[in-house]
Amino acid sequence: MITVDDLRGIGLFVGLTDIQLGELIEGGFELRIEPGVDLFHEGEPADFWWVLVDGAIALHRRIGREDTVMGKMDVPGRWAGGFRAWDEHGVYLASGRGVEEGRVLRVPAAVLRERVDDWFPLGGHLIKGVYGTARAIESTARQRDALITLGTLAAGLAHEINNPAAAASRSVSALESACATLLSALQRLAVGEISAAQFSELDSLRLELGGAAAVDPVDLADQENVISDWLDRQGIAEDWLIAPPLAAAGATVEWLSRAASVLGDATEPGLLWVASTLSTATLLGEVKESTRRITELVAAVRSYSQMDRGSIQTIDITEGIESTLVMLGHKLRGGIEIIRAYGDLPRIEAYPGELNQVWTNLIDNAVDAMDGTGTLRITTRTDGDRIVVEFTDTGPGMPPEVAARAFEPFYTTKDVGKGTGLGLDIAQRIITEHHGGTITITSHPGQTTLQIRLPHHPIPAT
């Protein structure tokens, strides 16, 4: 049984009276340290304060699928845990495993709080304030970064949608005018009393027009001028309505002559009708393409946000990466080249929303590292029972001291307000703890690669 004499010579307790030491012992428990036996586990609520009396305890954390020793408690008075005395969300930052036989004093966090409040009221208030302030600052900063990121993504998405939406609006407006012209031309043909046979021949001539072989703007403008000149010679006044669509459809002077021979006095309304039908078809095609693009963007957002999915799903990794590229499309224009080297991947079980957040962070980091100019290569492949995803950028690379700290909590090289608000430490936690995978950095000047290895089925860290 631990006694006051056992604690009196420990530096941690200098300044405490024998009565106070007795109260601490009375409120706690003695536990024996056995080599190889865990006393507490990483991530569990830190409900106890562990003080080493003698022996040794190794502190280890799970990184990927390996246990890594982070430090050792081998000097009497070294302590761990107890965070819930002042922080209701406090958890053990590492697991404690016995190395040498000995003893620890295990004090419940509630008892520790009471003793400190009784013995050092000011110290207790200060500790509580430090915990509360640190957590509040962290939470506020994370929320602010997340809101900034959401606003940036929303602005980029609005820009992406605005282009096809504006194109569809312009096309619909022009379509209204084209339809009015088409109906007017039909009315003029009816008044001109062309025969059914003439109209049938005109329609056959219309069907011959399948689009110009040359799409060069200069060549197209030259052809419009040729057609306008021919129309002028025929005394046709509305050449500005007729020439552009006929030129774009590949009409020639020879075709115009054949149409004129069929139509006779009704040449002008007949050509106007052909031009209007061609314009209508073109504008309908533009509306169709614009609305298709909007539909694709909405589908990409839906896939990215996982609005219609539960937590764990059987997913296509490539689909998630592609939807993320769409969301970040506004950042990938200009000098950024995307090279896709996708392998034939099996579908895997994962948390799709979380993985999309990781892809967002890694792509955003790569674009920032390249300062808007460079090449981002995205590679996927299988390696045994693992899926491998690599993001390689042509930026300046990370200095060794930065790469060594890249996965540390709160570590960043970006200015306030920059980035996605999702640090590499959280990305690592998503990959390692939620999916049982690994994430590593390989960097040298001109090339930085972030590699993620995922199992086919998530193996959460324990």
Mean residue pLDDT of the chain comes to 82
Neighbouring C-beta atoms of residue 35, cutoff 10 Å: 13
Q: Give the model's pLDDT for residue 418.
A: 43
Query: Each residue of 160-191: b (16+ CB within 10 Å) or e?
Result: beeebbebbeebeebbeebeebbeebbebbee
Tell whether the model's pLDDT for residue 421 goes beyond 60. Answer: no
pLDDT tens digit string along 142-187? 556 555 555 666 666 676 677 778 778 888 888 888 898 889 888 8
The pLDDT of 414-424, averaged and rounded, is 48
Q: Could you give the percent of the chain with pLDDT greater than 90?
A: 27
Tell whether the model's pLDDT for residue 62 goes beyond 70. Answer: yes
Residues 6+ apart with CB under 8 A from 197: none
Q: Give the model's pLDDT for residue 185.
A: 87
User: φ and ψ at 185, to 5 degrees?
Assistant: -65, -40
Neighbouring C-beta atoms of residue 157, cutoff 10 Å: 20
CB 25 within 8 A of CB 2: yes
Q: Is the dihedral of CA 140, 141, 143, 144 positive or negative?
A: positive
Judged by phi (left if over 0) then psi (alpha if -120 to 50, else beta), residue 322 lies in: alpha
Higher pLDDT, 425 or 271: 271
| pLDDT band at residue 65 using 50, 70 and 90 as cut-offs | low
For residue 380, CA distances in Å to 145, 314, 341 come to 29, 17, 7
Tell whether the model's pLDDT for residue 57 goes beyond 70. Answer: yes
Residues 6+ apart with CB under 8 A from 417: 145, 148
The pLDDT of 65-87, averaged and rounded, is 84
Q: Model's pTM, two decimal places? A: 0.45
Helix H or strand E segment including 413: none
Tell whether the model's pLDDT for residue 105 goes beyond 90. Answer: yes
Pairing of strands 373-383, 335-341: parallel
Higher pLDDT, 100 or 325: 100
For residue 399, CA distances in Å to 195, 237, 402, 428 come to 82, 71, 5, 20
| pLDDT band at residue 415 using 50, 70 and 90 as cut-offs | very low
Tell whether the model's pLDDT for residue 440 goes beyond 60. Answer: yes
CB 435 within 8 A of CB 350: yes
Higher pLDDT, 415 or 135: 135
Tell whether the model's pLDDT for residue 123 goes beyond 70. Answer: no
Q: Which residues pair with 451 in a beta bridge?
A: 390, 440
pLDDT tens digit string along 195-248? 888 889 988 998 988 755 546 778 888 888 999 999 989 888 888 888 888 988
Q: Give the model's pLDDT for residue 240.
A: 86
Higher pLDDT, 217 or 378: 378
Query: Radius of gyration over alpha carbons of the chain, in Å?
Result: 36
Q: Which of 85, 94, 92, 93 is nearest to 131 (CA)?
A: 85
- Domains delineated in the chain: 4-119 (2.60.120.10), 159-296 (no CATH), 311-455 (3.30.565.10)
Higher pLDDT, 158 or 304: 158
Q: Give the model's pLDDT for residue 155.
A: 64
The pLDDT of 279-295, averaged and rounded, is 83
| pLDDT band at residue 434 using 50, 70 and 90 as cut-offs | confident
| Helix, strand, or coil (residue 98) | strand
The pLDDT of 320-329, averaged and rounded, is 84
d(CA 283, CA 151): 34
Tokens 């109906």 sit at which residue? Answer: 183
pLDDT tens digit string along 331-376? 787 789 999 999 999 999 888 878 888 898 899 889 888 988 899 9
